[in-house]
Amino acid sequence: MRKILRIESLDCGYKNIIVKDISFTGEEGDIICILGSNGSGKSTLIKTLAGLLVPHKGQVMVNNENIRSWSWQKRAKNIAYIPQYFNSTFQFTGLDIVVMGRTSYLRLGLAPKESDYEIAKKAMERLNISHLQDRIYSSMSGGERQLVKIAQALAQEAKILLMDEPTNNLDFGNQITMLNYLKELSEMGILIIMATHFPDQALSYGTKALLVSQGEGKLVINPRENIVEEDLEKLYDLQIKILDYHINNENRKVCVPF
């Protein structure tokens, strides 16, 4: 797999440093789960990787280029960011929201072309949400809105997808649906980095996990095999047991508090 993201000694925060000395690489097809308690800096780190916050120190490198030197158009063509919450008071349809992912490809003041709409429609088809094209975005469920935002990211044709707690406020069924879609995107070569409150997601879907605690990060390669109970207990200040089980000829793990 080709390395497309390199984080070098990153200190990030607002006025004060919240997360410090973070270094890791991301490859095509990686799913990197950022784990940590509330206030640990997961969202701050995601926003810094997206170029929305200027790091106090260090660099975010994509294809060996520092993203701080990029225009917003170039950043949007390479990095798609889905925040924890996104709503609209305007009467945009699902297709309207998805075609907004083509903004960085348009000349100033020009409307999307037919080809942009075709790309948006194909993105919705890929996620099996074509039935949401004409639905008003604000009337959709939380899970439907998240899928529309992922389709928007696909329409951007970015190779890096950053997500801040993508399964937040989704019921269990929609969480699994969302995660399975993300796995399909990773198999297409998209690098996915997501902040999550659920360590099971790292154990089941992650190729890497970044454990953020007390302002520091620990990278774990192959979390299913290499995350240990002590790691999670440090993160959440809670006694945790990781259980093994076997399903569909595959060894899986789940963690439970006790």
- Region for 46 from its dihedrals, namely left if φ exceeds 0, alpha if ψ lies in -120 to 50, beta otherwise: alpha
Q: Helix or strand or coil: residue 169? A: coil
The pLDDT tens digits of the residues spanning 225-241 come to 999 999 999 999 899 99
**Residue 45: CA count within 13 A, CB half-sphere:** 33
Work out the pLDDT band at 30, boundaries 50, 70, 90: very high
3-class secondary structure for 185-231? Answer: HHHCCCEEEEEECCHHHHHHHCCEEEEEECCEEEEEECHHHHCCHHH
pLDDT by residue (tens digit) across 47-103? 999 999 999 999 999 999 999 999 988 998 999 998 876 666 678 999 999 999 998
Tens-digit pLDDT profile for residues 170-217: 788 878 888 888 898 899 999 999 999 899 999 999 999 999 998 899
The average confidence (pLDDT) of the chain is 90
Note whether 20 and 216 are within 8 A (CB).
yes
The pLDDT assigned to 116 comes to 94
Q: Which of 25-29, 88-92, 109-113 has the lowest mean pLDDT?
A: 88-92
Instruction: Calculate mean pLDDT across residues 123-141.
Output: 91
Q: Would you state the structure tokens that stand for residue 36, as one six-digit string?
A: 């940590």
Q: What is the pLDDT of residues 145-176, one digit of tens each?
A: 888 988 998 899 999 999 998 887 778 887 88
Summarize the confidence of residues 17-25 as an average pLDDT.
Answer: 94
Answer yes or no: is pLDDT of 111 > 70: yes
Residue 142: band (very low, low, confident or very high) from pLDDT cuts 50, 70, 90: confident
pLDDT number for residue 180: 87
- Residue 87's pLDDT is 64
Q: C-alpha distances in angstroms, 6 versus 49, 146, 250?
A: 10, 27, 31
Query: Would you say residue 33 has pLDDT above 70?
Result: yes
Taking Cα atoms as reference points, which of 28, 73, 78 lies closest to residue 49?
A: 78
| End-to-end C-alpha distance for the chain, whole angstroms | 39
The predicted structure's pLDDT at residue 226: 93
The reported pLDDT for the residue numbered 1 is 67
Walk me through the domains of the chain, giving residue ranges and CATH numbers.
Answer: 3-257 (3.40.50.300)
